[in-house]
Amino acid sequence: MRAMVMTDQPDGRTLQPLNSQELPQPEPAGPFDVVVRIAAAGVCRSDLHILMGELPVSVPHVLGHENSGWVHAVGPMVSTVEVGQAVLCYPFVSDGLSAPERRGVDSAAPGRRTPGIDCDGGYAEYLLVTERSLIRLPADADLAAMATLSDAGLAAYRACRKAAAALEPGSLAVVVGVGGLGHLAVQILRSTTAARILAVDTRAEARDLAVSCGAHHACSPTELAAAAGSEAAAVIDFVGSDESASSALSCLGFGGSYFAAGVGGSLSVPILQLVTKETRIEGVYVGTYPELVELTRLALRGDVRPVVVTYSLSDADRALKDLAAGSFVGRAVLTP
């Protein structure tokens, strides 16, 4: 099968190119294994971190942790999907036996695999997973749009669910960063809360996208202090830089919550603020399988509509460079 393969271990902050190679097509090796024929693989900022050596992986390596497709082959004990079924791939593959998995938090499972991160992922024609990680989709589902739900959408959904607990009707929710995750978060907040939504992005086209996705207002980071004042009930930060975190924290009102969903910088907050404003700070790491099922339902009924830019698999390098340069809005996916 064709795959875009990372063959060099990066040693700096330079984007490493991928090589188009023929790899052996995976086959079901275990009784619950499923081989998925890839329809679309999302292009994530984490892929940039891997290609710049900030997240170590062993090479050769196939990226792609945000995948959809059709069941191509199944192991002998697989009972919940059949060949030809359209599926969305939950990003974690695990056996379900550890305590975190029994609570549904596969992201914290000690023995989990994450295709595209610690084993071969979906920048390829076929992907090996297990049936436990699959969500069945209708045959006519838009699989390119659905792929973006399994990582970008899921993290946005989990962040919004956490934020919703702090959001009363009319209270202010701030979404910082209107990229692949942020534009979905705006839609999720709009569909599931009655909050006022303020979206923040450096790019005018991303602010326009936020408004078209349902944000009530959009502004640049330099305008945030004036636009939000100090009354936000929740801020979801998809940028995660020193600057975004500090400006987000300063616009929280009493009892406000800061949710970190992007990574890159570090956070410094006076304890005086934590105490006197009862500020809450919480991280968001992907999400649970049930959350992905819920989000899938929102998307299938049209309440969440991912904005997708499609590249062919062989154009993976261009997609990654465009993501790094911020030259598209929404989420990029690769199609084999």
Q: What are the residues binding Zn ion (CB under 5 A)?
A: 44, 46, 151
Q: How far is the CB of 44 from Zn ion (least distance, A)?
A: 3
Minimum Å gap between C-beta 69 and Zn ion is 17
Distance CA 143, CA 37 (A): 12
How far apart CA 243 and CA 219 sit, in angstroms, is: 15
| Residue number, 46 or 130, with CB nearest to Zn ion | 46
Please say which residue, 41 or 44, places its beta carbon nearer to Zn ion. Answer: 44
**Min separation Cβ 62 and Zn ion, Å:** 15
Least distance (Å) from Zn ion to the CB of residue 123?
13
d(CA 62, CA 76): 26
Give whichever of 33 and 151 is closer to Zn ion, judged by the CB atom: 151
φ/ψ bin of 278: left (φ > 0), alpha (ψ from -120 to 50), beta (otherwise): left
The nearer residue to Zn ion, 16 or 279, going by C-beta atoms, is: 16
Nearest approach in angstroms of CB 234 to Zn ion is 22
- Is 101 buried (19+), middle (13-18) or exposed (0-12) by CB count in 10 A? buried
Q: CB of 286: closest distance to Zn ion in angstroms?
A: 8
Query: Of the two residues 32 and 92, which places its CB atom closer to Zn ion in the complex?
Result: 92
CB of 47 to Zn ion, least distance (A): 7
Q: Please answer whether residues 329 and 304 qualify as being in contact, where contact means their C-beta atoms are separated by less than 8 angstroms.
A: no
Pair type for strands 19-22 and 67-74: unpaired
Closest to 121 in 3D by CA, of 316, 326, 325? 316
- The token pair at 299 is 């998307």
CB of 65 to Zn ion, least distance (A): 6
Q: Which is nearer to Zn ion, 41 or 232 (CB)?
A: 41
List 38's β-bridge partners, or say none.
69
Closest CB to Zn ion: residue number? 44
DSSP string, 215-278: -SEEE-GGGHHHHHTT-EEEEEESS--HHHHHHHHHTEEEEEEEEE-S-SS-----HHHHHHTT
CB of residue 66 to Zn ion, shortest distance in Å: 6
Nearer to Zn ion, 73 or 309 (CB): 309
**Sign of the torsion formed by the C-alpha atoms of 51, 57, 58 and 63:** negative
Q: Largest Cα–Cα distance of the chain, in whole Å?
A: 61
> Do 177 and 262 form a contact (C-beta atoms < 8 A)?
yes
The span from the CA of 277 to the CA of 231, in Å, is 11
Q: Rank residues 46 and 85 by Cβ distance to Zn ion and give the closer one.
A: 46
Decide whether 188 or 195 has the Cβ nearer to Zn ion: 188
Report how far apart the first and last C-alpha atoms of the chain are (Å, whole number).
10
